[in-house]
A and B are shown apart, each in its own frame.
Chain A
Amino acid sequence: MFEGLDATVLARAQFAFTVAFHIVFPAFTIGLASYLAVLEGLWLWTKRDVYLRLFKYWIKIFAVAFGMGVVSGLVMSYQFGTNWSVFSDRTGPILGPLMGYEVLSAFFLEAGFLGIMLFGLNRVGKGLHFFATLMVAAGTLFSAFWILSVNSWMHTPAGYAINDVGQFVPDDWWAIVFNPSFPYRLVHMVLAAYLTTAFVVGAVAAFHLLRDRANEGARVMFSMAMWMALVVAPIQVVAGDMHGLNTLEHQPAKIAAMEGHFETQTGAPLILFGLPDMEAEETRYAVEIPRLGSLILTHSWDGEVPGLEEWAPEDRPNAAVIFWTFRVMVGLGMLMMLVGLISLVLRLRRRLHESRWFHRIAIVMGPSGFIAVLAGWVTTEMGRQPWTVQGLMRTSESVSPIGAPAVAASLAAFAVVYFLVFGAGVYYILRLMRKPPVPSEPDMPAKRPIEAAGRAAGRAAAGVPDARPMGAE
């Protein structure tokens, strides 16, 4: 018994570790693929050289990040079977086809056109190259669509029946794909990806503006990033609120844990800060605003908000963790919105590119999207515990019959390899970001051999922009 529990905890740790590493890359590349499509489209439309320069600048970073997303995603597609075989057997008839659609409609599309996008401009011409960029961007969004449908079904299962060997089998595909929490989760995550990218782009732009505020590329991308923050952050707050209301309807225990409410109450306060204690069933040192909790969650002054006491102790999600991860996410969301608003004020005063203090803030906010995405995912996934399929299948019943030592060994191997490999990748990305976008942006990624051999000869010779940009020599 104890050994079985151990293997479950280790399998959870392994899934959490590998998926957390993985999600960081798509969160960035979903947004960046769309940004690249916008840049290329603007270049083709306006013929302004600066957009091509920025396209070439970001596509190098995209290539590294995308590669890491691909390999870490490949691991995920096998994790279900290796570590969660009972879950796979029972949910396969429903979740398998959804993931199958993800592979067929998204992964192939991305992978098939990525080569052309990275290396093919001088081979296929501008129009087809732009098409390839659009396909890669569309692929990232299709991928988000299907995998979030899968994930949402685990939170709000619908359209299923259970057969005589205990498998969940499809009854209504429309209800399965568009299960109750899916539309909210999809919008929330795609907006999160766009915000993540906007703040990364904004931070890189700000970094270069601090060094040279005349750099045209840095000026353009800073402006674009701040427009994005201004427009998307408030939409995200609304989308997040709607997602929360949906969760209250379908997964009230998660909301109770997120809010640190142990007692069911009408006119519930909003607990700003506190330390939820699962044993004592109370939130210690709570700083509260009376009635605001009910107002936010029920949009009514004295609405009833459920507390964790409604559920048996073994059915409760861990409030001690998700109370805080939820606040980290919301707090960062508010800061993002504030940055967007400040940028508008500065823009109207024509100080956007001159306010050094604001550029420093933008740099600090660079990783905020990643932290918010991770905090949000921890909140929603731990908030579903102790279930893998909410209310129907427990996490402890989902795990593979693999001994704890095997799971521990593979977890250790993943940890070592991921820190090594993705640490190096992040270092290379940061090094690319440290270079400013310059008019003679080196072609991506042509002449690498010669660039490496003749570095002393100067980078200017490596890539003079002309009518045949990337890959042309």
Chain B
Amino acid sequence: MAFDLAFIWAILIAFAVLAYVVLDGFDLGIGILFPFVKADGDRDVMMNSVAPIWDGNETWLVLGGGGLFAAFPLAYATLMPALYTPLIAMLLGLVFRGVAFEFRFRAEKSRRVWDVGFAAGSILAAFCQGIALGAFIQGVAIEGRAYAGGWFDWLTPFTLLTGVALVVGYAMLGAAWLILKTTGELQERAYALALPLGAGMLAMIGAVSLWTPLLHPDIADRWFSWPNMLLVAPVPVLVIAAVAGLYWAIATGRDRLPFLLTQFLFVLSYIGLGISMFPYIVPRQFTIWDAAAPPESLGFLLVGAGILIPVILGYTAYAYWVFRGKVDPQAGYH
């Protein structure tokens, strides 16, 4: 019974984090692309394209953190101190970009300040999320039930790579979102940005995928030993197919396909990460069963999650449906 609950919760938290990446990735990407789009009117459109939904998107990050606290308190209590600096920098970045949605339109003379705040906050948040991811993959020092490392353990060449990788990936998602939601010059600009960003994203996926098995023999084992290799082979094969499809979709001027394929690439990378990490929740220290809260806690929240998550997905989908279609720059419905 305890086995099942811990596993279900690991899946649920993994789902929450994936939902966060899929949903908030593109609206962080909009911020990352702000410096590449100069016209004030275009920036209005970019912001308006995500203004009604960004808050809901970010809530998945709260669920990821809150769910970890509830279901795997030991993991929460050791990973948070280990990732202290990147997490706090990420939060500060999210503060800047979150308030910019309102402040930018309320400011008169200081509008530029919030343009910069939106862009810098988005880039910082994305970069720190990537660093946190990299630091999680490379593992943290533990003694007993506590983090035992220093406050700069997270800073390595690998984590800097994952930081940059996530910024590039989110920027690509942002460009694909703009292709989906805009028309005219802004859309053309997004197409032009998407090509190098797509290439960059492919390079980053490749670099991180090759580096990760080098970090630990058991990760390499999982990917390169027989017959595992056969089981996991679909992941890299699908990545290559998706990238080819993405290039074709951008080159032929498709509206929706670039966004869907970029999201698909994120999902594939995420699955790859899951293959490397499972069943650890604090890599090579605590498995999901070591860190799980007692079954009474897991069961109590699971009842609510089972009822409420489908409802949440329902009204989230409804909100997206209400604001469907192209953003009309003339109407500025915001």
Give chain A's interface residues, CB within 8 Å of chain B: 63-64, 67-68, 70-75, 77-78, 80-82, 85-86, 88-97, 99-105, 107-116, 118-120, 122-124, 163, 165, 167, 169-171, 173, 400-403, 405-406, 410, 413-414, 417-418, 421, 424-425, 428, 431-432, 445-450, 452, 471, 473
Contacts and interface: CB of A to CB of B under 8 A. Distances in A.
Contact of B69 (A80, A413, A445): A80
Interface string B119-137: 0000000000000000000
Given A97-B304, A108-B316, A452-B105, 6 more contacts: A68-B99, A70-B58, A78-B88, A88-B69, A96-B69, A110-B55
A68 B85 CA distance: 22
Contacts of A450: 332
Interface in B33-53: 40-41, 44, 51-53
Contacts of B105: 445, 448, 452
21 contacts: A63-B102, A74-B58, A77-B62, A77-B66, A78-B65, A81-B77, A81-B79, A82-B81, A96-B73, A97-B70, A100-B305, A112-B319, A169-B296, A170-B297, A406-B84, A413-B92, A428-B103, A448-B44, A449-B41, A471-B334, A473-B331
B297 A421 contact: no
Contact of B301 (A88, A97, A421, A432): A97
B331 to A, nearest CB: 5
A94 B76 CA distance: 14
B91 A78 contact: yes
Contact of B61 (A72, A74, A118): A74
B70 A67 contact: no
A471 B83 CA distance: 41
Contacts of B40: 449
B259 interface: no
B269 interface: no
A432 B55 contact: no
Interface stretch (B144-152, B188-196, B215-223, B260-268): B144-152
Nearest to A135: B315
A92 B69 CA distance: 6
Contacts of B148: 401
The 5 closest A-B CB pairs, nearest first, are: A92-B73, A81-B80, A96-B70, A115-B52, A89-B77
A71 B96 CA distance: 8
B95 interface: yes
B331 A81 contact: no
Contacts of B101: 67
Contacts of B44: 448-449
Interface residues of B, number: 77
A96 B297 contact: yes
A95 B293 CA distance: 11
Contacts, number: 272
Which of A112, A113, A163 has the most chain B CB atoms inside 10 A of its CB? A112
Interface in B297-316: 297, 300-301, 304-305, 308-309, 312, 315-316
A120 B322 contact: yes
A119 B333 contact: yes
Contact of A473 (B80, B103, B297, B333): B333
Contact of A67 (B62, B102, B316): B102
B294 A88 contact: no
Contact of B62 (A103, A112, A119): A103
A186 to B, nearest CB: 19
B60 to A, nearest CB: 9
A283 B331 CA distance: 66
A115 B55 contact: yes
Given A115-B55, A425-B103, A92 B334 contact: no
Given A86-B77, A471-B333, A81 B69 contact: yes
Contacts of B92: 413-414, 417
Contacts of B99: 67-68, 71, 421, 424-425
B323 interface: yes
A70 B98 contact: yes
A326 B7 CA distance: 47
Contact of A403 (B83, B151, B315, B323): B151
A402 B152 CA distance: 11
A70 B58 CA distance: 9
A173 B309 CA distance: 21
B319 A116 contact: yes
Given A96-B293, A417-B92, A74 B62 contact: yes
Contacts of B76: 80-81, 85, 88-89, 92, 96
A111 B80 contact: no
Contact of A169 (B52, B294, B305): B294
Contacts of B246: none
B305 A413 contact: no
Given A70-B55, A421-B95, A446 B332 contact: yes
Which of A67, A73, A96, A446 has the most chain B CB atoms inside 10 A of its CB? A96
Contacts of B309: 104
Nearest to B332: A449
A68 B67 CA distance: 23
A421 B96 contact: yes
B67 to A, nearest CB: 6
